[in-house]
């Protein structure tokens, strides 16, 4: 056994994981380059070596959950100094830079997402309070948002980060409202316009910083993770400008327990370039000059269930869609869904729905669940 292997064994032992062990969450190493790569690059090295086929695990999500549960990521902090320096020096989510995530993630093929997601193509946490299927859990989430926003026929809604138009379609059909959806992904915009054809829905291919108009309600579902800490104030200022004085604003986003300025290096390089998850402090500080907080709802463990359902559907549909990709993409996507599920299971990440109003909101707001 070389010293790199010995060090890895020492690091993973508190998580109850063994090299080439018999439990489903044990790791099986096929290439000795794995050990040095992980010690040199930390989480980036772990994900890359999986993509390279240097190791495998029967229960990948359980293995990653165990690592996160013992805070192994904090014991191997390689590569993070450059991430911090880059985030401090540049506005990684500027209007010119932010389109990178659309090119490298949201525009990689609608067929992938159509097979992985539910019928509304909702690419955010479902609500499993009463549901037993992904379809029902996503419909319950959409209806929960509509009820929290207290929608009524004829209202005008702004959906910042509208994805493939699922919320716009649902709200227009079920609650007879008018929706303006905004996305920076050309592929999302095309499909959103198709699915909302014939409904009072307008889809814009536009950056949120350029938005104008006045709306009864503003909603943002799973988009704030791409805004970046240098732009939180700008985002809140735009929403404040667009929201009518008696309006409601619902922010649905993934959040971190601690304030940071960058995301995990592997996620940044391969999945969501220039993304980052806000903390409660960062969100509140940005919202304070513009809004009054009315409700804060956390159901982060529901994202674990959602991601595992996406993983099951992705694996089941691979033979149908693999002609667009390669085997390395398969392992990358599998790792992405598993590390994300593990992070919620280990309570490293949360899922928040937050309701804001203007400070002089004229009514009493009662939250719903």
- 98 and 58 in a single domain? The answer is no
Q: What are phi and psi of 146, to 5 degrees?
A: -65, -40
Which pLDDT score is estimated for 86? 47
Residue 316 lies in a domain: yes
Residue 368 lies in a domain: no
Among all chains, which residue has been given the structure tokens 């391969």?
270
Bridge partners for 294 per DSSP: none
- 72 and 213 in a single domain? The answer is no
- The C-alpha atoms of residue 152 and residue 177 are separated, in whole angstroms, by 7
Residue 9 lies in a domain: yes
- 72 and 109 in a single domain? The answer is no
Q: How far is CA 310 from CA 15, 122, 181, 348, 349, in A?
A: 26, 11, 24, 20, 18
Which pLDDT score is estimated for 274? 84
- 67 and 110 in a single domain? The answer is no
- 153 and 224 in a single domain? The answer is yes
346 DSSP assignment:
T
Residue 366 lies in a domain: no
Crossing angle between the packed helical segments 33-41 and 43-51, to the nearest 10 degrees? 150
Per-residue b or e along 26-36, where b marks 16 or more CB atoms closer than 10 Å to that residue's CB: bbebeeeebbb
Which pLDDT score is estimated for 78? 53
- 107 and 53 in a single domain? The answer is no
Residue 362 lies in a domain: no
- The C-alpha atoms of residue 200 and residue 191 are separated, in whole angstroms, by 16
Residue 89 lies in a domain: no
Crossing angle between the packed helical segments 186-195 and 166-175, to the nearest 10 degrees? 20
Q: Which two tokens stand for residue 293?
A: 């907080």
- 257 and 314 in a single domain? The answer is yes
Which pLDDT score is estimated for 194? 97
- 72 and 219 in a single domain? The answer is no
Q: In sequence order, which residues have a C-beta less than 8 Å from that of residue 261 and are 6 or more positions away?
A: 84, 87, 88, 229, 276
CB atoms within 10 A of CB 233: 15
Which region, left, alpha or beta, applies to residue 185 given φ > 0 means left and ψ of -120 to 50 means alpha? Answer: beta
Strand ranges for 69-130 from DSSP E: none
Mean pLDDT per 10-residue section of the chain, whose length is 369 residues = 87 93 96 94 94 97 95 62 48 60 78 97 97 98 98 98 98 98 95 97 96 97 95 97 98 95 89 92 98 98 98 98 96 98 97 97 93
Among all chains, which residue has been given the structure tokens 């915009």?
189
Whether the CB-CB separation of 197 and 219 falls below 8 Å is answered with no
CB atoms within 10 A of CB 268: 20
- 74 and 100 in a single domain? The answer is no
Q: How far is CA 179 from CA 57, 162, 203, 237, in A?
A: 45, 10, 8, 20
Which pLDDT score is estimated for 342? 97
Whether the CB-CB separation of 100 and 271 falls below 8 Å is answered with no
Q: Which two tokens stand for residue 20?
A: 């080439």
- Vertex 342 angle, CA 296 and 259, to 5°: 50
Residue 166 lies in a domain: yes
> pTM score, two decimals?
0.92
- 184 and 229 in a single domain? The answer is yes
Give the total number of structural domains in the chain: 2
Range of the domain at 210: 94-357
Residue 190 lies in a domain: yes
- The C-alpha atoms of residue 149 and residue 367 are separated, in whole angstroms, by 9
- 185 and 248 in a single domain? The answer is yes
Which of 18, 49, 78 is a domain's end point? Answer: 78
**For the chain, what percentages of helix, strand and coil (3-state, to nearest 5) are there?**
50, 15, 35
- 17 and 107 in a single domain? The answer is no
Complete DSSP assignment for 220-258: EES-GGGT-GGGHHHHHHHHHHHEEEEEEEEEEEEEESS
Q: How far is CA 190 from CA 100, 165, 193, in A?
A: 18, 10, 5
H/E stretch holding 188 reads: helix 186-195
Which of 78, 106, 128 is a domain's end point? Answer: 78
């Amino acid at each position: 056994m070389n010293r790199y292997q010995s060090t890895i064994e020492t690091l993973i032992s508190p998580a109850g994981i063994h090299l080439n062990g018999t439990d489903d969450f044990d790791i099986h190493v096929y290439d000795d380059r794995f050990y040095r790569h992980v010690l040199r690059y930390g989480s980036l090295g772990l994900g890359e070596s999986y993509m390279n086929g240097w190791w495998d695990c029967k229960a990948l999500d359980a293995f990653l959950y165990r690592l996160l549960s013992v805070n192994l990521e904090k014991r191997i902090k390689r590569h993070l100094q450059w991430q911090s320096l880059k985030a401090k020096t540049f506005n990684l989510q500027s209007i010119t830079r932010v389109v990178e995530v659309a090119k490298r993630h949201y525009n990689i093929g609608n067929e992938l997402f159509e097979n992985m997601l539910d019928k509304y193509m909702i690419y955010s946490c479902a609500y499993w309070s009463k549901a037993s299927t992904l379809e029902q859990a996503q419909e319950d989430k959409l209806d929960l948002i509509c009820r929290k926003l207290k929608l009524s026929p004829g209202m005008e809604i702004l959906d910042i980060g509208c994805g493939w138009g699922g919320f716009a379609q649902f709200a227009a059909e079920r609650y007879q409202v008018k929706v303006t959806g905004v996305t920076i992904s050309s592929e999302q915009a095309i499909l959103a316009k198709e699915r909302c054809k014939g409904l009072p829905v307008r889809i814009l291919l536009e950056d949120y910083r350029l938005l104008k108009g006045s709306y009864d309600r503003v909603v943002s579902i799973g988009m704030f993770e791409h805004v970046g800490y240098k732009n939180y104030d700008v985002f809140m200022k735009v929403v404040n400008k667009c929201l009518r004085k008696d309006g409601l604003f619902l922010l649905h986003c993934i959040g971190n327990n601690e304030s940071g300025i960058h995301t995990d290096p592997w996620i940044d390089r391969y999945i969501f370039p220039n993304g980052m998850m806000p903390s409660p402090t960062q969100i509140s500080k940005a919202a304070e000059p513009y809004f009054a907080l009315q409700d804060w709802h956390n159901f982060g463990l529901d994202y674990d269930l959602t991601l595992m359902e996406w993983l099951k559907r992705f694996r089941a549909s691979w033979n149908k869609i693999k002609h667009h990709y390669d085997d390395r993409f398969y392992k990358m996507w599998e790792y992405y869904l598993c590390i994300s599920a593990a992070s919620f299971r280990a309570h490293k990440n949360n899922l928040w729905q937050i309701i804001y109003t203007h400070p002089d909101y004229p009514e009493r707001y009662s939250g719903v669940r």
